[in-house]
Every structure is written in C-alpha cells, then in structure tokens.
Structure 1
Amino acid sequence: MSEKEITERIMEDDEIHKKGGEVSPALISIHPLEESIAVAIGSELRVFDLVGTKPVVLHDHAGGPSHSDSIRSICFGAKGTLFASAGDDKLVKIWKVDSWKCIRTVSSEKRVTAVSISHDGLFVCLADKFGVVWVVDLNSQGENQCPVDKSASPLLGHYCSIITSLEFSPDGRFIVSADRDFKIRITVFPKKPLKGAHEIQSFCLGHTDFVSCLAFAFSTDDSSQGFLLSGGGDSTVRLWDYLSGSLLDTCDIGSKLACNGDKSKVKEDGCSVVTDLCVCHNGSLVSVSVQSFHGVILLNCNLIAKTLSFSMAIPIVGNFIPTSMATGNNSDHLWMVMGASGLPSADPNVMYPVRVKVIAGLKKFHSDIEVQNLSILKDDDIPGSKDSLMVLQGSLDVEKDEDSLVHTAEALKTAMRNLLIKRQYSVEKREVRKKSRNDRKLKRKVV
C-alpha cells in the first residue's frame, strides 16, 4: 500500500472515530440535601428547585460567554453552595446555588473533561484532554471583576492521557484523578495549590482498560475512613485503600450479569463498559450503570470487611440505559438520566430525548431483603412530579420519543469506548501520522 493510500485510510478512520466520539452523554447531579437537581444535555443546563417545586432561572449575565458546546462534567460542591459546569467549549462556569448566578467563567486552553469543587468551596479543579489538572482560586478576585478569567494554575499532570474523572476525598485532603491509560492517581491537595501539587500519596493500578468513573464509599459517621471505588472499560468495579494504593476487592460486572441471565444484553457487541458509579445508603450500597444494560446493578460494599459483592440487577422496562446517576447525602432516591447529544442524524433538526427515572427505597434496602423494597417511581410520584420532569426532560411524550430512545441507546453502546479507548496503529501508519503532525508542518514552513 502506498503512502498516499495509507494517508487516505487514516483520514477515513479518523473521521469515523470522530463521529462516534463526539456523542455527549446526558449528565445528572443533585444537591447534597436534595434541594435542587441539574441535568446537562449538549450545551444546555436544566435545573429544577425541588424545595420550591419550580424551574430555576440561571443568571449568566456577568459578561462571560454561555456554554456553546457539549457539557462534559457537572457537580455540586460538598456543602451545596456552589455548582460547576464544564465541557467542549473550553469553559468552566461556576454558579452560586442560592441565587443561581454565574460568579466566574474560566477559559481553558483545551477541552475540559472533568471538574470538581474542593470541600471548603475555595477552589475549583478542572481536567483537560491533554492530561493536565488546573486549579482556580475563587478568592483571588471579587465577583464580576473579570467575566472571562484565564488565570487557572496548573496543579498536576497525567502525561498526555485524557483524564476521565476527578474527585476530592471525603476529608478533602486528597484529589483523585483517573485517566484512559488505566491509572488512578492519589495526590495530596496542598495548602497552597496555586504553586502546584507535588506530593503523590499513591497510585491505584489494576484496571486493564480505561478508568471511566470514580466514587468514594465512606460512613457519614467517619469520613476519614473511606475507600475508593472505580469502574472502567474492563467491565469491573474495584475497591481500593487509596492511602496505600492497595486493591481490596474486584467485582466483574460482565460475568455477574451473565450469570444472572443477562448475557445477551450486556455482552452484545462486547459493550460491558462501566459508565458511572453512585454510592448510596451510608456507603454500603453502590449503584452501577453499564453501557448496554437496560437498568442498574447494585453492589454491597462492606466497609468493615473491605469487600465488594454483587447484590442484584434491576432491569428497567423500555429502552432506558442510564448515562449518569446521582443521589443526595443519606437520600432515599437514586436519580438516573438517559440521553445524548451529537448523535449522527440525517435531519439536523431532530432533537433526541432525555429521560429521567428515580428508584426509591434505598434506606430500606439490605442484602437480605427482597427487591420489593426498591421501586421505580412513576412520573407522578417523582419528587417535583411532572413539573420537574418537564424541565429536566423537556418533554413528557414518551411514546412519541420511543424510536429516538432506541437510536440513542444504540449510539451510546459505542460512543464512550470510541472516545476513550486508545487506537492502535501499525508501524507504517505511525510513520505517516508523524509526518502529518501540526508541529512538524510548522517546522517545515519555518525552514
């Protein structure tokens, strides 16, 4: 094959990969006290006040731009006073929850893949596609003094590997970052983070494919004795002692579902990627979403025995595959959302649906109690009733959107893997790609 033919093939492969990777899953996040809930779909941020049972109007008039591309990460701060959103438009927007006013817009050099707020609410950390974690000091300036701020400081790096998840430890002492190269890094969050984080506590190594999500399991009575959970492209959920980096237990989600009669749903096309984790019920219950499973999986996390065990799979009727999950502190509800933006379509005006569902009964759940204690709430029984669904989903016409849900479910099976998995090239293709690198082109022009 000639060099020209190889180049054409590479360009064709890159275009196919780009189309699949641009799909952006819908995200959901809930206030720690379940006072409000937010859903992000594409560049749109939808928020509902669960206490006042009314939609929230976002006040983004500080002078900075609004989100113009897919939002890739959203989160509430531990105290519930701040909310952050970030994504492909290289913007991080920080909001005050009491007024839902944007108090800071930070511009990143690269697309942002993850965002997290320190427990004291003084710092916001963001991770980009180049593998760098940046930190923003919220006390460095007054509100509205600089609508678009580029003063984020580098905190740490993952050496050109896409960072997929970013979390602060329950006690706020550490910041944990995971990447597509199977690594989880535990870093001491310094007292002066603007000068960088130079002390690595440990690495949690054991995943055999990209790490997609992180969560902490800890007792609310003692947040210092927590453990780290991780899920990834190798179909496993792993329990870690993050202080030492020791692997405590592993649960193979794909094989557990196959043993429970769901092999056809999970192993089809090889898509059994763990896409999200949500810790409930005082750290003892872990909800897991899998890329091709229509429902959620529940795991028991024994904080004393330091074990992780499969409890049950909860199927959800219809074409519902959660793309994101959330729960409040000591809440009885598990909130789930399904949806995606950027799906390939012949009609550019087609709007793909967002679906929100809630599982209730988490406080009553125990490993030796039947699944009847858990229930998937009907629309009228969801907190905020149909008013909240109208805001978060944008529609209540489920039957009308059924065909679109099927298409969404199919697209989501491969979207994340296309985005995160490293592509392998032959030696011949690698040499051709090197010649077409932008920095090489620039050098040739200079010469």
Structure 2
Amino acid sequence: MEEHDVDESEQKLEAEVAPALIAVHPYQKFVSVAVGSDLRVFSFQHGSAAQLLDETGGHKDSIRAIRYSKSGKLFVSGGDDKLVKVWDTDFWRCVYSVVSEKRVTSLAVSGDDKFVSFADKFGVVYVVDIGDYDDENRAPDRKEAVPILSHYCSIITRLDFSPDGQYIISADRDFKIRVTLFSKERLEGAHEIQCFCLGHTEFVSSIAFASSQDYAQGLLVSGSGDSTVRLWDYNSGSLLDTCEIGTKAGLLNSNQKQEDVLPAVTDLCETYDGSLVAAAIQSLQGIMLLRCNFSARTLSIAKVVSIAGETFIPTSISSASSVPLLWMVMGASSLSSTDSALLARVRVVSGLGADSEPIVPETSVVEDKDVPGGEPLLQALQGRLTIGEEASLATAEAVKTATRNLLIKKQYSAERRDFRKRGRNDKKIKP
C-alpha cells in the first residue's frame, strides 16, 4: 500500500505543472502562447486575439509543444490529451486532429509543410502525411500517425528536422541526440541512423541550429540538465565545443559539488539571422546569448541579458525569422494555492539584428508600453496585464521541480523495479 501511494505521488508530480510555451510566426504575423490546455493567439494584422475554430473542442489537457511551420501557413500543437492538432493560420481553423497512443512531448514540421512529426512519452516518433489540404469549411480530418523510429522507452524531449530536411533529429531524457535519415519513403520508417551526438551527462532539454549565409546547413546546438550548451556537427556526431553556462551565468561556483542540483537549460532559440542562439536557464532572470564561430567551429557567450525589477525566469523563448526580436514567456499550469494558474508573463528583447555583429550585441528588454501589439497583445497572451511577485516566484519553483521530476532519471532497487513492473498497465506480471 505504501509503494502504491508513492507511485501515485510520483505520477501527480509529473503531471502537476506544465510550463507556459511561446511560438512566433516566421514573419511575426502572430504570436502564440500555450498555458495548460489554453491556446492563445494574437494577430498583428487585426490587433486582437485570433478566434480559434475547432469543432472537436480544442485541447483537453496541458499542451506540451507548439510551433509554426517554416512557411508560417501551419501551426501545430500537442500535449497530455494525446492529441496533435494542425491549424491553418489563414483562418485559424483546426484542419487535422491526430490521435496519439501516449502523451505528446515534442513536435516538428517538415520544411515543405507536407509532414508533421511528433514524439510521445514512450519514446516513439511518428510521422503524419498531411499533404495538401483544401480551405473548405469542414470538420477536422482524422489522420493516421505512422511510427518511424523509437528511443526505446526514453522520453523524447525535442524533435526537429535539419535545415535541409535530410534528417530528423530527436533528443531524449537519457542524454543522447539521434540523427536519423528522413528517407524518401517517409511512411515506411526511418531505419538509417546517421549518427548519435553523445556527451551530455543529463537529459537533453532543447536543440536549435546556428547558421549563416555561408553555412546554410548550420551546426546543431543542444542544451541540457547538465548546465551546458554544446555545439555539434550533426552529419558526423562530432562534439565541437562545450559552454559551461551555469558557471558563466553566475548560477554556479567552481566549488559546487557534483551532486548539487545544476541549473538546467530549459529552451534554446536561434535569432532571426542565425547569428546568435538564445538560451533560457533555470534560475536565470533573463536569457543568455551565445555566438557560433563557424570557421573556428566554436561556441562562446556573447552576453547575458538580465531582466531587472521583477522575477522573470523564462519557461519558453521564440523568435521570428524576419524580425530582430526575441519573445519570452514565463508561466505554468495547475498551480494550486496561488493566483497564477493559467496566467503568463510575456517579455521581449530587442537588438538582435545583423547590426549586432560586434562581440557584444546592443540588446535591451522592451518596456511593456513599447511591446509590438501593445496592451491588447499582453491582455490576449497573459490573461491579465500584471502578475504578482509571489505568483512569479511560485511559477519558477514549480516549473523547476516538475522538470526534474519528469526528466531526471530515477534510480530504483531491484525490489522497487519489480513492484513498478507489477503496476504497469501494459505489462502486468502475474504472481
């Protein structure tokens, strides 16, 4: 009975809090924020919140992944309700609704908008052929998802296509990044592994691509719970450079013990021209900017952009491919005993343009009154204009705890492992 109570407690911790997410349209036509099951979209064209049309009723549980396609014509969302929804951004209508066997942890859209890929909590990656859809006013189609690869029971934390579309890249809780050939026979499986990128010592939390006009294929950048950001040649799996970001951000000291909790990298995002990569880090009030030197194949810290005057530790960051701004959100779902449930705080960093080629870019945190979209945007995406300091602190701590409960791999005794196997719904062990 005691063991059963412990298992229920673990499951409750994993499901209790989902971080707020943000995604920006490639041409900054829209900004989307997800908090819990609530999906909010602001339209710059209309200067107001977009009305989402979904005859199936939207998401029923926490959304864990959102993103726009490269063209901006599609938006995808998925989460704990085991649904992946594909939205047409011209009308903000859900055009496809895909059912997953397990909870959805990450999403990716191919560069030609024809394939949506998603990963579930069991470590399986699926692909959905969405092809060309029409603009008729109809209920969302049901599409079948085809499994193409697996990480063998390891939670997949991030999923993306390489810039040239040749590979599908998946990162997981067990410290590894897999680069798989996305074959021409998309629906017949992805069986050819190009390489593994191995070197992290904790869960891989995020991936991004640093690129330039002279190096369009880019290099892979990954962030982890080991408090490092690493640079990879994803064609060979070679580790090119490592940034110990925890120490350099002032969140760690050289005397810190190995068993101490390290501040995890929670999100990575390349800037609009690919010259910089922004990193959100647990306990860092702001973001860190890193610069990739493609000739030397090195990664260095360009600047730490701090946010003064309030507690703001981003849970998600995003940028458009055409506007030199970085969008950040802080928030979480299902926070009991605070007034922050389903609330979010949005901030913007400016000065990330090509003019920022010097070593230290001239960045600044935009005041609320100067944020693109102004007060209507903040009201649409945040839930209300202001969030109390107590709620902000509670949000930061809850997201940090939930991330570790979900992604830090637990160690069990032989007896404990046997008990957990007996309780699995998919593999009951008879006495």
| TM-score relative to the length of structure 2 | 0.92
**Counterparts in 2 of 1:19 and 1:217: CA distance versus 1, 3 Å:** same
Amino acid at match of 1:395: R
- Select 1:19's aligned residue among 12, 20, 29: 12
User: Partner of 1:362: helix, strand, or coil?
Assistant: coil
Counterpart position of 2:413: 426
Counterpart amino acid of residue 47 in structure 1: V
- The whole-number CA distance in structure 2 between the counterparts of 1:71 and 1:13 is 26
- Correspondence 1:286 to 2:277: yes
1:240-319 equivalences under 5 Å are 240-258=232-250, 262-263=251-252, 270-280=261-271, 282-317=273-308, 318-319=310-311
Secondary structure at 1:320's aligned position in 2? coil
Distance 1:365 1:240 in 2: 24
Aligned to 2:37: 43
The Cα offsets for residues 155-199 of structure 1, whole Å up to 9 and x where unpaired, read as 111111110000011111111000101111111111121111111
- What is the aligned residue count? 423
Contact kept, 8 Å, 2:96 with 2:143, in 1: the verdict is no
- 1:340 aligned residue (332, 350, 359): 332
CA drift of 1:228 comes to 0.4
Q: What are the superposed Cα offsets for residues 97-118 of structure 1, whole Å, 9 maximum, x if unpaired? A: 1111111000111100011111
**2:26 aligned with 1:32:** yes
1:145 deviation in Å? Answer: 7.7
Residue 351, structure 1, aligned to residue 344, structure 2: no
Cα RMSD, aligned residues only: 2.2
Q: Is the 8 A contact 2:340 2:395 kept in 1?
A: no
Structure 1 residue 57 corresponds to structure 2 residue 51: yes
TM-superposed deviation, 1:367: 4.3
Paired with 1:176 and 1:321, the residues of 2 have a C-alpha distance of 27
| Cα distance in 1, alignment partners of residues 299 and 95 from structure 2 | 41
- For 2:186 and 2:139, how far apart are their aligned partners in 1? 21
SS of the counterpart of 1:72?
strand
State which drifts further: 272-281 or 428-437: 428-437
- Choose the corresponding residue for 2:98, options 101, 106, 123: 106
The alignment partner of 1:99 has SS state of coil
Structure number having the greater helix percentage: 1
Tell me how far apart the structure 1 counterparts of residues 214 and 177 of structure 2 sit (CA, whole Å). 26
In structure 1, the partner of 2:86 is 94
Q: Which stretches in structure 1 are left out of the alignment for 5+ residues?
A: 1-6
SS at match of 1:24: coil
The amino acid of 1:420's aligned partner reads: L
Q: Work out the percentage of aligned pairs sharing the same amino acid.
A: 52
C-alpha distance in 2 between matches for 1:109 and 1:141? 24
Q: Could you say which residue in structure 2 is the equivalent of 1:3?
A: none
1:396 aligns with 2:389: no
Task: Please report how far the alpha carbon of residue 381 of structure 1 lies from its aligned counterpart in structure 2 after TM superposition.
Answer: 0.6
Equivalent residue, structure 1, for 2:366: 377
Within 2, Cα distance between the matches of 1:140 and 1:384?
32
Quickly say closer, same or farther: Cα 1:220–1:404, change in 2 above 3 A: same
Task: Tell me if 1:361 matches 2:348.
Answer: no
Give the direction of change, closer, same or farther, for the CA distance of 1:141–1:80 in structure 2 (3 Å limit): closer
Once the two structures are TM-superposed, the CA of residue 395 in structure 1 deviates from its matched residue by 0.5
Cα pair 2:94 2:140 within 8 Å, conserved? no
Output the amino acid matched with 1:149.
R
Distance 1:439 1:25 in 2: 28
| 1:295 shift after superposition | 1.1
Q: Give, as a single letter, the amino acid of the residue that structure 2 aligns with 1:428.
A: E
* Distance change in 2, residues 1:352/1:99 (3 Å): closer
Q: CA deviation at 1:397?
A: 2.6
Contact 1:28/1:326, CA 8 A, preserved across alignment: yes
What is the aligned partner in structure 2 of residue 4 from structure 1? none
Matched residue SS, 2:273? helix
Q: 1:431, CA displacement in angstroms?
A: 2.8
For residue 14 of structure 1, report the CA deviation from its aligned partner: 2.8
